[in-house]
Structure 1
């Protein structure tokens, strides 16, 4: 038995030596079918493949142990590449969003024939309730001047308070110190909107106390020497008084959301003529009345009178209603 074990060891040793010889010849020879390497491969090719199959995983394991940072560096490189691709996708989405906002702003300016300077909000001022301002990245070098109206794609944002060469401070319409002339849609009734009620809430005071306003009425700017006319402001959300004084006041919900401003436009050129209400989004048409298909199932109607010469018979009123009404008033 000892002889068999010794013989097995010798055979394994010989096979290992042959395998390493073949590997050495394989690296040094460019022709795999000629010379000594071809002869050896023909004789011990199967043995070489078997030994290589056994030793290859061992070699890889030893390589990973001797170079522990190789795979970690590869993983870090792939993670960095993935993060870069994610940033690129996010940047592309942001560019598309800004382009869409600019297109919407341009469409509103075209409706009112306003000349605007596009700008982005780069800073927010004190918004504690006593001062509502933002800073935009356009200034006097772009033609911006104080007291110009500022809009976004939804409507009025505020007015320019101060400017530098490259930036401007905008007083939002909801600022308590903001007062802008306005008028009701489809009328020439004038008033003023002022802030102080919250980020998206204004108060509109109508100068003519004889006119009543209702929820749903819309407002636009009236226009002045500095302010452009016809800019959408907001819609009446609540009537604040019953009209006992010299003016009427209502609460306005602004079209523009003051808390999420980004892309805005400073109106640096007013239209030649007042745009009126054309910048406002058209109101949806009222629903058409339902057809009177339930008439046959209603209670029996009074007997019709005789047909006259000009048309078919008409429904006569209930005779008992008129005397009862007369008696009640006497």
Structure 2
């Protein structure tokens, strides 16, 4: 009889988050399941319906796919072109999915409110695939979009993108670990000069960063802070490359081993933090470092809210205000 995970010795545990057993089995304690896309119909009538979505497999070997979201558009004689938002989900690099109910619901809202084509990325997760696997997969999506934009020979062109995507107005966004991924993708994109695609801006929501030296929010005492630190440190220990510490560039974007932020090429950046979020001060540090490097960056603080409140409590009165700020950022940036 096959052993169940619970009968095997646990070799790693991040309380309430994830366990790893002696045989390598990973048990994700936060598992919301998945939901299917709204429709697979390429003939979706965007004048009559809300938001359509479909999954496009990019790499059969890794299982990486994107879930595309097409909002309702006002179609005139010339097919309306709208910006593209490439979105990286959170979950500490270890849990959640582009197809989870939380993210499917959220991307539907973003596509509706901001009138953008959503490209939500399903990337490989730790601990089975340590960083930089997630970065490789997410950056690969930008390169796929470049091939779509250029209609490269031998590339299957997605009809939604062909009809409605404005490749000169591309944004990248993500929350928590997804915010971390945004930074790494922008660092990689800074070294590229794409003809067919223009990255207009980056949005980091409650980004997941850390460092070896503890900062103010991490120096508190008490069971709550200790518990959060145990989870956070545990996540980094199974996500970073073997032997890396929290000053690794993947973890600390302005650390002693990281590329200077002056090398980051991104027209505009929006950093969003929440007042009660344990990661708040790390996000503020990132904003301040970008500002010091001479970058065009804005900071938004949501008072009275905790980490990813907009996903966990979408009925919060602050959730639509944050959505409007994100929508305004993309629409104003696209006019520059």
Q: Could you say whether these structures have the same fold, taking a TM-score greater than 0.5 normalized by the shorter chain as the test?
A: no
Category of TM-score, reference length = shorter chain: under 0.3
Q: Which structure exhibits the higher relative contact order, with contacts defined as CA atoms closer than 8 Å and separated by 6 or more residues?
A: 2
TM-score normalised to structure 2 length: 0.22
TM-score normalised to structure 1 length: 0.22
